[in-house]
Amino acid sequence: MNWADGESYVAIFVAFFVIRYVRNFLETPTRLPDWDMYFKRIWLTGFILMGLGEIFPRPWLIWFQLIVFLSIAYTVWQLYDLRPARTLLFAIAPYAIISCLESLVKSLSHSFYKKTDDYFESGATFSIIWLITFAVIAANQKKSLEKIRLEREKEAEQRRIIENKKNELEYLVAERTAEITRQKEELEEALKELKTTQTQLVQSEKMASLGELTAGIAHEIQNPLNFVNNFSEVSIELIDELEEEHAKPDRDVELETEILADLKQNLQKITHHGGRAASIVKGMLQHSRTSTGQREPTDINALSDEYLRLAYHGLRAKDKSFNATFTSDFDTSLGLVNMIPQDMGRVMLNLFTNAFYAVQQRQREGGDPNYKPTVTVSTRCVNGEVVITVSDNGTGMPEAVKQKIFQPFFTTKPTGEGTGLGLSMAYDIVTKGHNGTLEVDSKEGEGTTFKITIPA
């Protein structure tokens, strides 16, 4: 049999197309690029086998068919996870087996082949139908896989878009967060500064009230000092007179007794006025001293009286024409009350200063020629609580002002005259420092009354 007969060329030709189809179908150039290099040339082995001719044991066609089928099987094996690939192998298998068997039988025993020719014919027909059927199934599988793949790609694309959006949003959020954090830090810084400023303001409020006091203090010390000096001088005169009388032969005993009584009285007055000055200095030191925050038994009547005078003279030192009556109505049975004297002194001073300011304002308005500016302080013990009231018949205040007076930095005084911290500090001292209450009652044009209540 001639090697180069028509059947051989047809076989090579068919192998070429089958391999081309398989390569296309399974996309081996992209899926298995390394193997595809050889696979696409497999059909050429037909010519090699043809060329080798006699050397190779016959029949060469079987070898060629085996090479082609095994190469396809190997390809499918490599792509085992791909379902259409398996189906394809399944499609090709019967045809491959039958055609190999046919070629084998044909070459081994031609007579036997002649006898069984019909079986092979029908087997080949069946295997071709099988092949086509499964090729179609494989194609469909491939198509649906492709569809799924496309969907997945679409999904992946969408996911990527969503991911991008998410990243974008996250970037924005991070940016905003950074901005907010920066702003928060700035605000915290500002708050810190404000707190420092407030501390400084509270300090300067203390100093300002001390400044307001200095004139009052000076006056209040000057007065008793004058008496101390005057009574000392007059006592020296009295002693001179007494010595003179003593030297006389006819001593006037009655006069001597009178002079001695006066001397004693003067020395008592010196002690009294000296004590007055000393208590004012003590009060001033206490006022300027940082509060210990310690409660101690305090004579609230004496404290009130002292600050009432200081406030009055403090204001009068600034306005020489100012004149007011101040009266005190003290409950002498109160005794000593536990409180922080520096702090409560500050509260009293503030209330008195405000009261005198209010009566001064009303006096300046000059509406009533018979107006008598009056400030009154009273102390009482009511149900085991100490009640201190500070009343004035000054300008009073409208409801809108009354609502705000305990707020920090609220002031009705012209800029630069009040810090607006006085009453807010007073409120804190009474409520937080002494568990008490600070109430206000006011009528515009008639006056104001502040009432401090603290547990005794």
DSSP 398: -
Angstrom distance (rounded) from CA 19 to CA 22: 5
Which 8-state DSSP code applies to residue 291? P
Indicate the SS3 state at residue 441. strand
352 lies in the site for other proteins, by CB under 8 A: no
- Decide if residue 210 touches other proteins (CB under 8 A): no
The encoded tokens of residue 302 equal 């004496």
According to the binding rule CB under 8 A, does residue 221 interact with other proteins?
no
- Please classify residue 248 by burial: count the beta carbons closer than 10 Å to its beta carbon, then call 0-12 exposed, 13-18 middle and 19+ buried: exposed
Comparing CB distances to other proteins, the nearer of 6 and 366 is: 366
* Residue with the two structure tokens 């009060």: 283
Cβ 424 vs Cβ 440: under 8 Å: no
Region of 204-212, 323-331, 407-415, 423-431 interacting with other proteins (CB under 8 A): 323-331
Q: Are 275 and 228 in contact (CB under 8 A)?
A: no
* Sequence-ordered strand ranges (E) for 223-373: 296-299, 325-329, 336-339
Q: Does 328 bind other proteins (CB under 8 A)?
A: no
* Of the candidate residues 234, 242, 334, 381, the single one contacting other proteins (CB under 8 A): 234
Q: Is 229 in the site for other proteins (CB under 8 A)?
A: yes
Kindly state whether residue 238 participates in binding other proteins, applying the rule CB under 8 A: yes
Contact between 323 and other proteins (CB under 8 A)?
yes
Give whichever of 353 and 453 is closer to other proteins, judged by the CB atom.
353
Is residue 223 involved in binding other proteins (CB under 8 A)? Answer: yes
Q: For the CA atoms of 188, 192, 195, 196, what is the dihedral angle to 10 degrees? A: -170
116 near other proteins, judged by CB under 8 A: no
Instruction: Provide the 10 A C-beta neighbour count for residue 149.
Output: 11
CB of 240 vs other proteins, minimal distance in Å: 11
Nearer to other proteins, 116 or 328 (CB): 328
The residue count of the chain comes to 456
Nearer CB in complex with other proteins: 269/287 = 269
Q: Interacting stretch for other proteins, rule CB under 8 A, among 110-118, 159-167, 180-188, 320-328? A: 320-328
The binding site for other proteins (CB under 8 A) comprises: 219, 222-223, 225-227, 229-231, 233-234, 237-238, 241, 262, 265-266, 269, 273, 316-317, 320-321, 323-326, 372
